Structure 1
């Protein structure tokens, strides 16, 4: 049985080329332990390619590469030709086809797909965090959060938490009710990452009435009464003053606008 040796060359981690090479090799060697595979990751200098080609010649290896820079692809192709080596370019042809289709040039920046993957998983993690620590369900989330939102009911804490989570921020939100003592964790965090959401009593009165109607209830419940709302807002004021956090009036602001204000405050703190 002819020995099979594969050199995997990448300007990033090399996982893509490694998986493709294994898939191809498995069609000839059911036991991949009989296949010698050597991965060369983060290859970004042309001098490295010359050394890899030298080693590949000594071991009669097939060179499989994923290099995003056209100059690096040309270099390894030349080195393989000079050394009589077989080589496979897994990215070059596809990059060319895509470039011609969209009439654009590639960035030629190694590792972009990994950055995109990491960005995606950070977003998912932040969204799950916002759900887990929504509406004060677990005060421990206050200590773990990047941003903490406090406010009375119906001040857009939940949609704002989700919006910020899509921007990859871990957000916990805590409702403030006069009859319930706020969690101690609120007074243990850096006040710069805490934001109080306040709203006009009359605007909140209208929002709460609509909410009651949507639930099939009468709109004259205590929850929507202006007197009750003013009592809650007074309690809110006492709590945020104790925390020492920034207060944002959300009466006539869209969620996106409030989010941008918060992120601006964070960047300046």
Structure 2
């Protein structure tokens, strides 16, 4: 069994690279890939931090980067390290451009979905995630890949659905001071429990907009600044007491939050395999 470090760099979420890598690896037997996902790489500073990690785990680098400066920096550094560096979509884009009379690209290409086992796994993940939204069916949480915990309106549900579309079974639980979560939450073995938090100001704004959209009074304890701060402090204490990783979603998109969670899952899997 050959082991291979595979570094997947993207200036987006990395979904395209994941599919390409999977398709390529399927052509080989007796290969144990150790995948490292590096999404949202959009600046030289971010790239330098990633390159430090790549240098410590040399392997094949595959990337989809639009920014030419970041691309050239990556290629130069990989060349200096003696590592192969592949621009995954360049051959396809170049061929299409030639066939179209030299037409320049104006949008990023999407990926094509196949009705394979991975497709049906995603369908099952979506079904599981929808059925286990908002603290429902806690007795089944051990079947999840990820359990998200956080106060109301901390992006748990949209993040769960996004992850489900990537094939992860996700349950989520709202943390309420007056209502302790089910005991199962503190004894899970298979799922990775991740805490989501945000700033009090941002949370008040999100909650107030939610109340307005429902034509409800915008001034209640639900949006009281002190009350919201107490909820967030309660949640953070729970995260710390249980040693759960925490992601601050204040300035993150759903895609960025999901990418961070996928990295946590990958790191946990690698650690469990002794990598």
Structure exhibiting the larger radius of gyration computed from Cα positions: 1
1:262 aligns with 2:261: yes
- Using a 3 Å threshold, how does the CA distance of structure 1 residues 165 and 196 change in structure 2: closer, same or farther? same
8 Å contact kept, 2:143–2:190: no
Match of 2:198 in 1: 199
CA apart distance, 1:118: 1.3
Match of 1:180 in 2: 179
Structure 2 Cα separation of the partners of residues 202 and 130 of structure 1? 29
Match of 1:30 in 2: none
CA apart distance, 1:117: 2.5
8 Å contact kept, 2:147–2:191: no
Match of 2:118 in 1: 119
SS in 1 for 2:172: strand
CA apart distance, 1:143: 1.4
State the TM-score, normalizing by the size of structure 2.
Answer: 0.54
SS in 2 for 1:172: strand
- Using a 3 Å threshold, how does the CA distance of structure 1 residues 191 and 204 change in structure 2: closer, same or farther? farther
Unaligned runs of 5+ in 1: 1-102, 104-114
Q: After superposition, where does 1:66-81 map in structure 2 within 5 Å?
A: none
Unaligned runs of 5+ in 2: 1-98, 100-113, 269-275
Could you say what the CA RMSD is over the residues aligned between the two structures, in angstroms?
Answer: 1.6
- Residue by residue over 1:56-106, the C-alpha shift from the partner in whole angstroms, topping out at 9 and shown as x without a partner, is xxxxxxxxxxxxxxxxxxxxxxxxxxxxxxxxxxxxxxxxxxxxxxx9xxx
- Using a 3 Å threshold, how does the CA distance of structure 1 residues 142 and 192 change in structure 2: closer, same or farther? closer
Match of 1:226 in 2: 225
Structure 2 Cα separation of the partners of residues 148 and 239 of structure 1? 14
Structure 2 Cα separation of the partners of residues 154 and 201 of structure 1? 11
